[in-house]
Every structure is written in C-alpha cells, then in structure tokens.
Chains A and B, each alone.
Chain A
C-alpha cells in the first residue's frame, strides 16, 4: 500500500459526459501528479500540482482540468468524454520537487470506461 488513495476504482460512463476523479496523497506529500495510461501503453503525464499551485503541464487536453485543494487532495475533471478517453488514470504523490523528494508513490488508479 503506497498510502495514495484514489476514488472511484472503476467508472463507466457515456460519451459526452463529465466525470471527476479524486486523489488523496500520502501524508506529508505536497506534490500530486496525474497520468493517463491507455491499454498496454506507457504513462502519459497530464499535470502536476505542488502545494496547491500548478507546477507542470504535460499532454493534458483542454477538456480536462485539475486542481489541488488546501487539504492537498486533488481532483481531475474530464468533460465531453470520448471513447478514446477510456484508460487507467493514475495519481501519484511526492514530498516535493528536487531529489530525493521527487520519488513518486502511485495510487491504485481509476479505470475509466467510456461507452
């Protein structure tokens, strides 16, 4: 158990809908990262927050948005969902920037299926 929690575990929805994925980082970690992993693919970095502020942005679509709240939990919002958005979404947390604080601890993921 990494200490990172993600809810829900599974999500099935229809095209055009909007969903929110939630992540709670490990106790003491200030950074949260979001990744998308399609079937048998690598980890596509979406976005990183550090202590409530956006720190880095990857290949995140305009239909997607995220935020980190004062209690450090984070939410990833996916809207106008398309079939291609079906994937495993991982959240990871780390203490903060700079080695060794950048070691990332991953949550179990949310499996999203868009029908």
Chain B
C-alpha cells in the first residue's frame, strides 16, 4: 500500500510558539487520521477528517483536510511542554502511517 508523506521530520520550538506538520498524498484520500505518540508511549488517535476542506479544532489543535483531499495539516497554537511527542498522519485502508513529525518544546 501507499504511504502518506509527512514533513517536517523534526521540529523544535520554544514554548508559546506555533507548530505545524503537513501530510501529503499523491492520490485522493477518502479520509485521513491523526495520531499522537508521547515519548515512551503508544500512538493515540486524535481525529479523523473525511470531507473536502474540512477543518476541525481540539482546543489549541487545528486539523485541516485539503480541498482536493490529497493533503492535511495539524497546527498547534502556542505550544506547551505537554505537546511534546510524535504526530503521525495515516491514510485509509492500505495507506500507511506517515513517518511522523517529532515535536520537542523548550520551556
């Protein structure tokens, strides 16, 4: 199966700064999912996007699904140390997890 491409691989920010990770596919996705893995933990489901142009918010996290349903992004406003971890996107069916973006936050 195909794998979605995710960038950047690493992101180091100062606490309070914003953070964005991007997920891209060469084919149209029926849906995309986002997961977070804390250091030493297991991936935890955050959200699923299904509709073209969809935007969903969870407190300081904003998830977007592109109009063409080929890309997605996760934006965190005013990062906190609790946001530390690796964020993965995953496509549907045979589409596999992206490589993940590892976020570190300097207090």
Interfacial residues, chain A to chain B (CB-CB below 8 A): 2, 35, 40, 42-43, 45, 56, 58, 90, 92, 97, 99-100, 102-109
8 closest A-B pairs by beta carbon, nearest first, are: A99-B31, A106-B42, A42-B99, A43-B97, A45-B96, A106-B43, A42-B100, A103-B45
Chain A residues with CB below 8 A from B33, complex form: 102-104
The majority secondary structure among interface residues of chain A is: loop
Question: B1 within 8 Å of A by Cβ?
Answer: yes
Interface pair A56/B45, CB less than 8 Å apart = no
Given A58-B1, A107-B42: A45 touches B97 (CB 8 Å cut-off): yes
CB neighbours of B85 from chain A (8 A): none
Cβ–Cβ contact B1 & A104, under 8 A: no
Central interface residue in A92, A99, A107, A108, by most chain B CB within 10 Å = A99
B68: CB under 8 A from chain A? no
Task: Give the residues in chain A near B100, CB-CB below 8 Å.
Answer: 42-43
CB pairs A–B below 8 angstroms (23 shown): A2-B44, A42-B99, A42-B100, A43-B43, A43-B96, A43-B100, A45-B97, A90-B42, A92-B43, A99-B31, A99-B48, A100-B48, A102-B31, A103-B33, A103-B45, A104-B33, A104-B43, A104-B45, A105-B45, A106-B42, A106-B43, A106-B44, A107-B42
State in angstroms the CA–CA spacing of A108 and B92 once bound together.
22
Provide the residues of chain B in CB contact with A90, threshold 8 Å. 42-43
Instruction: Return B8 CB to nearest CB of chain A, in Å.
Output: 13
